[in-house]
Structure 1
Amino acid sequence: MASTRRKAAYAAAASAAATDGPVGFAQRVGSIPRMVRDVMSGRFDGIGRGRLLIMLLAAVYIVSPIDLLPEAFLTLPGMIDDAGIAAWLIAALFGATTAYRHWESGRVDSPTVDDPRVVPGEVLHP
């Protein structure tokens, strides 16, 4: 089952990279400051301030020398916990920037990040 999930994650990442490319990635990264500003001002409600705070704390944890499982003593587990948090942060940012860019462009079909029933994605045509 984990192998199936891993393959699905790789396929989703490859699809996103092929769709967005380097320019799309740069646009996503460039939209993060605008998204933070619009969330804090209350204009964009696709993600909450709490989720934004958790994303910030995850970024601080990744770059911080203080870890729950330090790499100096527990090499492999110490790197795995950072990698897991980094993977979650990338996925969360990808979903949040997707929702924000839909909202920013004025589309009404924008996915809601906090709704557990909604899975953001794209329809793939053969």
Structure 2
Amino acid sequence: MRKSNRAAAGAAAWQAVQQAGSARPGAPTVWERASALPRMLGARIRGHYDGLSGSRLLLYVLGVVYVASPIDLVPELFVPFLGLADDVGVAVWLATSLMAESERFLHWERRDNYVQGHVVD
């Protein structure tokens, strides 16, 4: 993917995340959800959090690889609009899906009194 297309995909993903976060009052902020991602991954790897399936995690990794990769399924050279649309689509799906998943993780942390890797008594 060309640099300008990567920027367009990133901008579209950021806009989708911002709109999703502002839609519900009382929902965690974008920053809270983004900062929960490393904790969520760590809890998943340690086996504490089972809300994120292995197949879902694999899809996220593949999405990151696809957006970061210079190789596209639909090259911009042959079909410019579709070439950009697939990149934007994957970036938006990835961003919104990760933000929703991290919000579920934050609810799990609060519900189970599990905060930043430590059980609270």
Shared fold per TM-score greater than 0.5: yes
Q: Displacement, 1:17?
A: 2.2
Unaligned runs of 5+ in 2: 1-14, 114-121
Which amino acid letter does the alignment assign opposite residue 35 of structure 1?
M
2:103 corresponds to: 98
- Is the deviation greater in 33-42 or in 82-91? 82-91
Unaligned runs of 5+ in 1: 1-9, 109-126
Tell me, yes or no, if the aligned pair for 1:39 and 1:49 is still in contact at 8 Å.
no
Secondary structure of 1:66's match? coil
Tell me the matched-pair count.
97
Q: Displacement, 1:82?
A: 0.9
TM-score (norm 2): 0.68
Q: Which has the higher contact order (CA 8 A, sep 6+)?
A: 2
Q: Is residue 61 of structure 2 the alignment partner of residue 56 of structure 1?
A: yes
Aligned-pair RMSD on alpha carbons?
2.8
1:72 corresponds to: 77
Alpha-carbon displacement from aligned partner over 1:3-57 (angstroms, at most 9, x marks no partner): xxxxxxx9x9636226479x81111111101101111111101111221111111
Aligned-pair identity in percent equals 34
Distance of 1:97 and 1:20 partners within structure 2: 15
Q: Is residue 88 of structure 2 the alignment partner of residue 83 of structure 1?
A: yes
